[in-house]
């Protein structure tokens, strides 16, 4: 039944996208990016989770704390649950709400790790959160349960993100980002989607990435932007490190789960930055990501946009660690 609902959603969504008139950007007032229902403060809203009676101490999986922070459950301690925190610590929590999901969505960066910052001051982390929120809404409307790795504007390391994926064991994992440091301008979107090159899920990771690229670029092309920032090999590709493994930790540490890292576009390009801060665009991109995921789960479509990857190895870029990380309140 769930698959049928998802497929129905796909048909309706794709049909709507195909007949929708181009969005008139001048009438869409730019506002600061914010995820649907996200709290204004740096800490998640206490209303994001409630106590659940009957959750056994033997429970192992993903859970939400009373403040809405998603954590992996590692064991028990002193009458509570031992959980992993966003900063990679281990603490005991007395109240948890069990979480299950077919899909895990990962809003990249967060907290003091802002990611890229556009020339107008837009934080990548906030755009990632907004798009992930819309993607979650669209997937759940199709009957597909979703778990987010990050539910507010707080920092979370790569290893804790991967631990949530391991706890949930989803059928697909998508990490959502916005790019910087382009090298050229082109008439079509410069979206990049990275997939796993190593491990048992590499082939399905590639297919997931191709479907996400197809949906995201088709959606962006509806907007009236004549020049898009890009790199020479924009498209769908793997990236390996010097040892031959997947370069990005979020891909490397989730091998076994089909995973894709989406770089929607370049907020370092001012025209695109303005575009991505518009709520209609955030919603459209989130829904495009949801359509790509639904197609991955319900069809054998191969996707498109595959390019020959560049020969790249470790470039020692910072980010994703937990040094000087401060956990949000867990409740």
How many beta carbons lie within 10 A of that of residue 265, not counting itself?
30
What pLDDT, in 10s, does the model give residues 193-219?
999 999 999 999 999 999 999 999 999
How many Cα neighbours within 13 Å face the side chain of 118? Answer: 25
3-state SS, residue 57: coil
* Cα dihedral 299→301→303→309 (10° resolution): 100
Which token pair is 253? 């540490």
Tokens matching residue 278: 């518009």
Q: What is the mean pLDDT of residues 22-29?
A: 29
The token pair at 233 is: 């090999």
- ∠ at Cα 101 (99, 104), nearest 5°? 110
Q: Comparing 48-52, 58-62, 117-121, which segment has the lowest mean pLDDT? A: 48-52
Examine the pLDDT at 23 and tell me if it is beyond 70: no
pTM of the predicted protein model: 0.85
Half-sphere exposure of 305 (CA within 13 A, CB side): 30
Please state, in angstroms and rounded to a whole number, the distance separating the CA atoms of residues 55 and 61. Answer: 11
The model's pLDDT over 242-287, given as tens digits with 9 standing for 90+, comes to 899 999 999 999 999 999 999 999 999 999 999 999 999 999 999 9
Beta strand segments in the chain, E: 62-64, 70-77, 80-84, 90-93, 97-99, 103-107, 146-148, 172-179, 184-186, 192-195, 228-230, 235-237, 259-266
Nearest to 175 by CA among 246, 101, 263, 257: 263
By the 10 Å C-beta count (0-12 exposed, 13-18 middle, 19+ buried), 246 is classed as buried
Whole-number Å distance between alpha carbons of 111 and 154: 4
State CA 69 to chain mean position distance.
Answer: 16
Pairing of strands 259-266, 172-179: parallel
Residue range 91-140, pLDDT digits in tens:
999 999 999 999 999 999 999 999 999 999 999 999 999 999 999 999 99
Please check whether residue 54 is in contact with residue 36, taking contact to mean a CB–CB distance below 8 angstroms: no
Which pair of structure tokens corresponds to residue 58?
């033997």
Q: Is 203 helix (H, G, I), strand (E, B) or coil?
A: helix
Distance CA 53, CA 198 (A): 41
Residue 321 tokens read as 């660690």
CATH 3.30.1370.100, applies to 2-20+27-48+100-298: no
């Amino acid at each position: 039944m769930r698959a049928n609902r998802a497929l129905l959603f796909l048909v309706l969504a794709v049909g709507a996208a195909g007949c929708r008139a181009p969005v008139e950007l001048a009438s869409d007032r730019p506002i600061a990016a914010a995820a649907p229902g996200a709290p204004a403060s740096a800490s998640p809203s206490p209303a994001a989770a409630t106590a659940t009676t009957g959750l056994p101490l033997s429970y192992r999986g993903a859970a939400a704390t009373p403040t809405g922070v998603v954590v992996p459950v590692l064991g028990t301690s002193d009458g509570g649950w031992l959980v992993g925190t966003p900063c990679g610590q281990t603490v005991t929590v007395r109240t948890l709400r069990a979480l299950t999901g077919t899909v895990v969505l990962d809003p990249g960066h967060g907290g003091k790790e802002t990611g890229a910052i556009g020339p107008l001051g837009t934080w990548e982390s906030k755009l990632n959160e907004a798009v992930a929120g819309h993607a979650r809404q669209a997937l759940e409307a199709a009957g597909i349960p979703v778990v987010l790795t990050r539910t507010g504007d707080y920092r979370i390391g790569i290893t804790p993100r991967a631990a949530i994926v391991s706890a949930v064991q989803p059928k697909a994992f998508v990490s959502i980002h916005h790019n910087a440091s382009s090298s050229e301008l082109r008439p079509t979107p410069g979206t990049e989607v990275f997939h796993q090159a190593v491990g048992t899920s590499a082939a399905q990771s590639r297919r997931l990435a191709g479907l996400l690229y197809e949906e995201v670029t088709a959606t962006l092309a509806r907007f009236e932007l004549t020049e898009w920032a890009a790199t020479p090999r924009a498209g769908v590709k793997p990236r390996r490190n010097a040892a031959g493994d997947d370069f990005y930790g979020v891909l490397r540490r989730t091998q076994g789960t089909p995973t894709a890292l989406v770089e929607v576009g370049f907020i370092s390009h001012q025209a695109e930055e303005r575009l991505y801060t518009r709520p209609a665009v955030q919603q459209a991109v989130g829904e495009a990501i949801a359509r790509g995921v639904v197609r991955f789960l319900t069809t054998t479509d191969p996707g498109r946009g595959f390019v020959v990857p560049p020969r790249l190895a470790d470039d020692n870029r910072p980010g994703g660690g937990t040094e000087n990380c401060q956990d949000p309140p867990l409740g």
